Structure 1
Amino acid sequence: MTYPHPLAKGTDYARLAARFRPVFSKIAAGAIERERTRTLPLEPIRWLKEAGFGTLRIPEAQGGHGASLPQLFQLLTELAEADPNLPQALRAHMAFVEDRLNAPDSPERERWFRRFIDGDIVGSGWTEIGAVKLGEVKTKVTPSAQGWRLDGEKFYSTGALFADWIDVFAQRSDNGGNVIALVATRQEGVLREDDWDGFGQRTTGSGTTRFQQARVEPEHVYDFADRFRYQTAFYQHVLLATLAGIGRAVQRDVAEGVRRRQRIYSHGNAARASEDAQVQQVVGQIGAWAYAVESTVLRATGSLQLAYEAHFSGDGQQELQANILAEVDSAKAQVIATQWVQRAAGELFNALGASDTRAEKALDRHWRNARTLSSHNPVIYKARIVGDYLVNGHEPMFIWQIGNGPDKPPQA
């Protein structure tokens, strides 16, 4: 098949990972201290930018690394093992790069690739909280003689504190159409606050962003209907890769904790904790859960790659089926990952001792981070969606929203 431009279909993973693993090691070295002091990972983000992490999916012929989607998410899993805040902070960036990969060739597309190669990254501005009805968008873009003006307020602005651009879901004031507006952060009209107060994923930069007559170039306003089709599954996969990385970190920390432990119980089974069969069983079970989650997530990323390539096939039915598979597979993986990683993060303490609950070790961060990630895209609906598809063949919902429900009817 002839494609309109080079596709990102994969590269040598060993060589690619070797480029970034030294950076991941530096990031891991400061992860606990950043967690304890709630220090934003400004320096780690800079290290990743300088290493070209933001260009993973851009084809090699256009200056990037040409990674496939399975390779992208495998690297995000490795990064999440070092610090799970960072993959989530880069979630909007990776999604917008994917959107540009799916776009037709154009000078505008090439300019975005050049910006990413130069180190620019994108943050998120989609969700509105407060008195917002389901389906309502209060953030507006308005045409003006100088281009467009953006006004509104977003929360859960993940990655916005570190970003050069923010990917904003907004509504046109002139015709009511839903759009994506890419707004530069280096202007007075963009106000970013570090007010995210969740108990997990505390340094993702997910607070409030306000837009007050912020400038948006005309070429940076895109119809939402043109957004890449497998975006919901893609966004979910960033969270899944992050969960898989937390699973790896739990496995790492419990094995190291048992290996170093000197104290034993009088009613234990060995002279050292590392030789205690019951403790070994706990560690082994955690290792199995972590392995199963990572394997499941990686398997599901193959469906995303098929959806990406099907976009260029010229066969609408093939593309639709690939998008359905990508969405269903991401839902299956979510059911597995959200349950088993949280379980592993709690089970960890059964292999250790009371001293391992001390704040300085921050081992509770694994459960808090996993629980917070698992609160996105509620898993309680995912098994039902999968079952409905398997039994009745109903397509999953590709785009969903959150907001206030209808007003209660008056009491009789």
Structure 2
Amino acid sequence: MPPVEPLQDKAVAAVPVLTADEALAEASRLAAEFATGAGVRDRERILPRDQLAQLAASGLLAITVPAEFGGADLPFSVVAEVIRRISVADPNIGQIPHSHFVYVNQLRIQGSKAQQALLFGEVLAGKWFGNAQSEIGTKHIREYRTTLSEVGDHWHLNGTKFYCTGALFADWIPVLTHLGVDGPMHVAWVSRLAKGVEIIDDWDAVGQRTTASGTVKFTEVEVTQEWITNYSDTFTGPTTYGSYAQLMHSAIDVGIARAAIEEASKFVTTKSRPYPDSVAIYGIDRAAQDPLIVQAFGEMELAVRGTEALLAEAGRAVDAATLHLTEEAASEATLAVAAARASSTQVSVEVTTRLFEVAGTRAALTAENLDRHWRNARVHTLHDPAAWKVQHLGRWAVEGLQPPRHGQL
């Protein structure tokens, strides 16, 4: 496989610094463009290279850079809404920058001023971050084998990562790794073009097919101290690190659900035939007039509106806790996001399934590709088990137990 070239070269101009209104307007504009061809990209597994270049140039990836470094410093709720709007058009494109925003936040929390100045400057120049976090074959998802080993005045990074969404297109790959054998977790910031970095496009799933969430191998990659930030201390005190990451995941699910109901509506009003009994009993001539179909759409709309409202509420809770970080505020943000994530998981899978119920047999044709909504929902909602969100909500409701601190909640 030939090497994958980065989206941007080193001469890229500074991206726009957007206000909240401008960011949302730009997300809507890009979403309208990204929707065109989304089905074809899914069917033929065409990676959204051109679309991601547009996203990088738009300034949307820089909206959380702190104001002191020249960024817009927009609230996390705005990021979630940007991702939701893009995910309605194509949730693959909605998911790819998720890790970018997570690691911009990690840099805010744990980076030194010098590290922040350099890497935030890269983001403002149109560069972006991928991720190399999860590994296959470990005991659980928060167990890692990748290690930075000290060699003289620098470190060597060795390990293999999977589910590396965004790494295929990124300029920088933040790598979650032990500092020393079994040492505390740190992040190594590695150029995707560094010697010893091998990026493999081997993601092959039934849904979210074009996120390119494949494998990255690191073999004796040289890393100096200035490119290493602490990770283990992220959860030693109250934090919105995990709730913010999960907020964006919920936004992707909510976008998928909204896309499914919109496409189902379009299909029913333009392609579906009425059932003979509805014609005989109610005298209708269009499937969209069938009271059973109308009822089903009403139920789906109710569910989608509910999960959209929970997403918005969760965004406000994360914003509030980030501004005034206390144990109580952080826990409230975590619980609010857990509710949104549990709801968006259930609703996105349910609505993308009922799409076929209201649209009828023709909707199952491969040529229509309506199944991509269910496939996308089913795959993305596996990211973190919703049952554990409900479990922690129940523990709080029954006994007032605070939720744990980690990146999956």
Same fold by TM (over 0.5)? yes
Q: Show the 5 A alignment for 1:66-215.
A: 66-103=73-110, 106-132=113-139, 136-145=143-152, 147-173=154-180, 176-215=183-222
Q: Are 1:345 and 2:355 an aligned pair?
A: no
Aligned match of 1:263 = 273
Q: 1:136 to 1:295 in 2, by over 3 A?
A: closer
Matched-pair contact (CA < 8 Å) for 2:245–2:407: no
How far apart, CA to CA, are the structure 2 residues paired with 1:336 and 1:354? Answer: 28
Q: 1:205 to 1:146 in 2, by over 3 A?
A: farther
How far apart, CA to CA, are the structure 1 residues paired with 2:248 and 2:188? Answer: 22
Amino acid paired to 2:386: V
Question: Cα distance, 1:133 vs. partner?
Answer: 6.5
How far apart, CA to CA, are the structure 2 residues paired with 1:181 and 1:208? Answer: 17
Matched-pair contact (CA < 8 Å) for 2:24–2:78: no
How far apart, CA to CA, are the structure 2 residues paired with 1:263 and 1:373? Answer: 32
Q: Are 1:279 and 2:293 an aligned pair?
A: yes
Matched-pair contact (CA < 8 Å) for 1:261–1:274: no
Matched-pair contact (CA < 8 Å) for 1:87–1:238: no
Aligned match of 1:404 = none
Q: Deviations over 1:225-275 (max 9, x none)?
A: 333732221221111000110111012101111121363222124111122
Matched-pair contact (CA < 8 Å) for 2:241–2:407: no
How far apart, CA to CA, are the structure 2 residues paired with 1:399 and 1:207? Answer: 24
Matched-pair contact (CA < 8 Å) for 1:194–1:208: yes
How far apart, CA to CA, are the structure 1 residues paired with 2:272 and 2:163? Answer: 43
Task: Choose from 287, 290, 299 the match for 2:304.
Answer: 290
Unaligned runs of 5+ in 1: 1-10, 312-318, 402-412
Question: Cα distance, 1:73 vs. partner?
Answer: 0.5
Amino acid paired to 2:161: K
Aligned pairs, number: 385
Tell me, what secondary structure is at the counterpart of 1:123?
Answer: coil
Matched-pair contact (CA < 8 Å) for 1:172–1:179: yes
Tell me, what secondary structure is at the counterpart of 1:176?
Answer: coil
Aligned match of 1:316 = none
Q: Deviations over 1:39-62 (max 9, x none)?
A: 111111111001011111124564
Matched-pair contact (CA < 8 Å) for 1:240–1:333: yes
Tell me, what secondary structure is at the counterpart of 1:126?
Answer: coil
Q: Are 1:305 and 2:319 an aligned pair?
A: yes
Aligned match of 2:4 = none
Tell me, what secondary structure is at the counterpart of 1:168?
Answer: strand
Q: Are 1:227 and 2:234 an aligned pair?
A: yes
Q: 1:157 to 1:134 in 2, by over 3 A?
A: closer
How far apart, CA to CA, are the structure 2 residues paired with 1:180 and 1:134? Answer: 16
Q: 1:82 to 1:262 in 2, by over 3 A?
A: closer
How far apart, CA to CA, are the structure 1 residues paired with 2:384 and 2:166? Answer: 18
Tell me, what secondary structure is at the counterpart of 1:149?
Answer: strand
Aligned match of 1:251 = 261
Aligned match of 2:10 = none
Question: Cα distance, 1:38 vs. partner?
Answer: 0.8
Matched-pair contact (CA < 8 Å) for 2:194–2:221: yes
Tell me, what secondary structure is at the counterpart of 1:206?
Answer: coil
| CA-based RMSD | 2.2
Q: 1:184 to 1:12 in 2, by over 3 A?
A: closer
How far apart, CA to CA, are the structure 1 residues paired with 2:140 and 2:96? Answer: 27
Matched-pair contact (CA < 8 Å) for 1:181–1:222: yes
How far apart, CA to CA, are the structure 2 residues paired with 1:181 and 1:335? Answer: 32
Q: Are 1:322 and 2:336 an aligned pair?
A: no
Q: Deviations over 1:128-161 (max 9, x none)?
A: 1125467642101122346222100011111111
How far apart, CA to CA, are the structure 1 residues paired with 2:343 and 2:140? Answer: 31
Amino acid paired to 1:140: T
Q: 1:133 to 1:225 in 2, by over 3 A?
A: closer
Aligned match of 2:246 = 236
Question: Cα distance, 1:397 vs. partner?
Answer: 1.7
Matched-pair contact (CA < 8 Å) for 2:166–2:212: yes
Scaled by the length of structure 1, the TM-score of the pair is 0.88
Unaligned runs of 5+ in 2: 1-17
How far apart, CA to CA, are the structure 2 residues paired with 1:217 and 1:21? Answer: 41
How far apart, CA to CA, are the structure 2 residues paired with 1:152 and 1:263? Answer: 55
